Amino acid sequence: MTMPSILVACEHWLLQYRRTWRGTLTSSILAPLLYLATLGLGLGASFDLQVQAHTQRVDYVVFVAPGLLAGWALQTAAEVSAYPVATAMRMDRTYHGMASSPVGYRGAYAGHLAFIALRVAINCAIFLAVLGALGIVTSWWAVVALFVAVLTGMSCAAPILAFSAAITRDASLTTLTRLVVTPLFLFSGIFYPVSVFPTVLQWLISVTPLWNGAELCRQLMTGHADLRPALLHLLVLGCYLLLGTVAAERMFKRRLTL
Amino acid sequence: MTQALSWGQPASVVHARGLTKSYGGPAAVDGVDLEIWAGESVGILGPNGAGKTSLMRMLSCVSLPSAGSLRIFGLDAAKQSRDIRRRLGIVHQEDILDSELTVAENIYIYGRYFGMPRAVIRENSAELLEFAKLSDRADSRVETLSGGMKRRLSIARALVSKPEVLLLDEPTTGLDPQARHVLWDRLAMLKTRGVTLILTTHFMDEAEQLCDRILLMDRGSLRDEGAPQELVTRYASKDVVEIRASGAADVSALAELVGKIGNRMEQLPNRLLLHVDDGDLALRAVIDLGVDPRACLVRRGSLEDVFLRLSGRSLLG
Ligand SMILES: Nc1ncnc2c1ncn2[C@@H]1O[C@H](COP(=O)(O)OP(=O)(O)OP(=O)(O)O)[C@@H](O)[C@H]1O
Ligand SMILES: [Mg+2]
């Protein structure tokens, strides 16, 4: 796998994206606005909610915004690394075309991951820009949070890509959404602190990529990041990214060199 | 490598020993030894399921062999597949195209996969579109093309990188006669430029037109090989008398009647083939025996007869 292979494989997805980016951009701007309106203005303001974030009580919208950023990274990752991957593997067989060229199966998955990273980064940057425009985020640490959000997205995207490359029926993707993506989104401490749960469940949640990502984003954006826990969160995210990439490598090899 | 260096001897393009592919069940390709030289055009013939595609995919350095050794251009296929693929043009049995991209974009992105500069691809692309007779559809999405148009695009796409070796798995399946002839001309032209052709086909006329050498494959093994004419001489006769019949019973009755004529006889469901040295002489003998002349046809022995004979004897099929 070399840099040019990854770049030209990525170029393929960009070529396709050129035709659809306007549509996706609209939803990229609209979705965070809708979430913030419902949760921050609607829920938060109606009940005059304040939430404990570390040592400090903050407005609900300040609590929920960094979590939503990480959650939005997951949503984007799930969207761009599930159906498109399954289609490229079994329907269009785009990957087979790449595997028949110098790009090879390695370039095929690595190039797609690169493109997914770009999509996640664009969506998260827009989300942050919206937060900034609404005055919800003021600290420059948000730029670091952007990096963490993209890493969170990729730590989810790599395993999802491996899974989507392995399946033989599209119905498995619905199962993935229902049993993995949605529960992750709902239970990873985005909307409320996980301290409401029993300890065992908290443990379980603390090894999910989304909780680690959301937690670190929140620490950064509320200005409470400590180095040690931050490194631990990064480590967990890095592990998911690494394991997902290894799984993707194996799946692509198995399916494309048969 | 010594071959590549010595004078007068073409370079080895494919060198396979004990090449085997199994998908879990019985081997689809079973211990194939194969040598192909630069500039040759080689056809692989065999019945459905013989293992042609499995073999082609290994030679394309796409599919990994289950056992055996494979060197392409003198490079180890297991370790240097990327360097090898850079020099190959591959047309798969089933079209692999990006259906959401346009015709021109399909050619463009494929050139990019080979690391070609954008300007060079654009330069070549007009000529390739012309060859594929798709110039007026350059901006159509591939989804909207007919089956034969997609096939032509697949072939054009494989040519964008100016490959040294072209691997074509049933290239003309789905093409109309005109498109077939255009492709044959193109392949003949590439051959004169020294491009090595490796192809599979179920069209015997195509194999006879294009190939210097035919490999007969069955149940994962290569059973025989030779120039088309050699194989015809070996397995068929110079001429063939075909007698049409109305059914199996009729064929048997005919066989009884004319069985003594010629070197060999082939009974098909509603045809009888007599392999003979002199077609006109044999035809007269057949008519003398009372067979309706309108049911008879004399033609040259062809690869088709070789194929039918071998599959009839279950060497193939
Ligand atoms: N992906 C696969 N998984 C399992 N078995 C396979 C696979 N591909 C091919 N086979 C088996 O390998 C054998 C050879 O198949 P192959 O496609 O190489 O034949 P072929 O000579 O190309 O046939 P055709 O003329 O129909 O294209 C067949 O028995 C087929 O069922
Ligand atoms: Mg085949």
Q: Which residues of B206-225 are buried (b: 16+ CB within 10 A; e: fewer)?
A: bbbbbbebbbbbbbbbbebb
Query: What are the helix and strand counts (H, E) for chain B?
Result: 12, 14
pLDDT-derived band of residue A251, with 50, 70 and 90 as boundaries?
very high
Q: What is the pLDDT of residue A32?
A: 81
Q: Which residues of B33-54 are buried (b: 16+ CB within 10 A; e: fewer)?
A: ebebbbbbbbbbbbeeebbbbb
Residue in B45, B53, B316 to alter for ligand 1 test, most ligand atoms within 8 A of Cβ: B53
Residue in B19, B21, B48, B54 to alter for ligand 1 test, most ligand atoms within 8 A of Cβ: B54
**pLDDT mean across residues, chain B:** 92
Q: Is the pLDDT of residue B121 over 70?
A: yes
Report yes or no: A68 and A127 within 8 Å, Cβ to Cβ.
yes
Tell me the mean pLDDT in the region A94-117: 98
Q: Is the pLDDT of residue B240 over 90?
A: yes
Alpha carbon nearest to ligand 1 atom 31, residue: B49
Q: What is the pLDDT of residue B8?
A: 67
**For tokens 């785009």, what's the residue?**
A94
pLDDT-derived band of residue B247, with 50, 70 and 90 as boundaries?
confident
Q: What separation in Å is there between the alpha carbon of A8 and the centre of ligand 2? A: 29
Please state which of the ranges A30-39, A75-84, A144-153, B281-290 shows the lowest mean pLDDT: A30-39
Q: What separation in Å is there between the alpha carbon of B29 and the centre of ligand 1? A: 9
The predicted-structure confidence for B278-297, as pLDDT tens digits, reads as follows 999 999 999 999 899 999 99
Alpha carbon nearest to ligand 1 atom 2, residue: B23
Q: What is the pLDDT of residue B7?
A: 61
Count of pairs with CB atoms under 8 A, one residue in A, one in B:
65
The bridge status of strand B165-169 relative to strand B88-91 is parallel
Tell me the mean pLDDT in the region A35-48: 83
Give the DSSP letter string of chain A.
Answer: --HHHHHHHHHHHHHHHTTTHHHHHHHHHHHHHHHHIIIIIIIIHHTT-EEEETTEEEEHHHHHHHHHHHHHHHHHHHHHHSHHHHIIIIIS-HHHHHHTSTTHHHHHHHHHHHHHHHHHHHHHHHHHHHHHHTTS---THHHHHHHHHHHHHHHHHHHHHHHHHH-SSTHHHHHHIIIIIHHHHHHSSSSS-GGGS-HHHHHHHHTSHHHHHHHHHHHHHTT---HHHHHHHHHHHHHHHHHHHHHHHHHHHHHH--
ipTM surpassing 0.85: yes
Stated as kind and residue range, the H or E segment containing B181 is: helix B177-192
**DSSP β-bridge partners for residue B198:** B42, B167
Name which of A97, A102, A103 is nearest B96 (Cβ-Cβ): A97
**pLDDT mean across residues, chain A:** 93
Sign of CA dihedral A184, A186, A187, A190: positive
pTM: 0.92
Q: Is the pLDDT of residue A236 over 70?
A: yes
Of B206, B224, B207, nearest to B215 by C-alpha is: B224
| Ligand 2 ion: nearby residues, β-carbon < 5 Å | B 52-53, 93
Q: What is the pLDDT of residue A1?
A: 61
Q: What is the pLDDT of residue B310?
A: 82
Name which of B64, B82, B100 is nearest A257 (Cβ-Cβ): B64
Q: What is the pLDDT of residue B219?
A: 94
Q: Is the pLDDT of residue B309 over 90?
A: no
Alpha-carbon span B105 to A213, nearest angstrom: 38
Tell me the mean pLDDT in the region A4-15: 96
Q: Does residue B46 line the site of ligand 1, with CB under 6 A?
A: yes
Here the tokens at position A145 are 């949070």
Tell me the mean pLDDT in the region B219-241: 93
Name which of B62, B98, B115 is nearest A100 (Cβ-Cβ): B62
Share of chain A above pLDDT 90, in %: 76
Alpha-carbon span A88 to A164, nearest angstrom: 10
Q: Is the pLDDT of residue B313 over 60?
A: no
Tell me the mean pLDDT in the region A3-22: 94
Q: What is the pLDDT of residue B315?
A: 52
Q: Is the pLDDT of residue A95 over 50?
A: yes
Question: Are the Cβ atoms of A4 and B115 closer than 8 angstroms?
Answer: yes
Neighboring chain B residues of A108 at a CB cutoff of 8 Å: none
The predicted-structure confidence for A126-154, as pLDDT tens digits, reads as follows 999 999 998 888 888 999 999 999 999 99
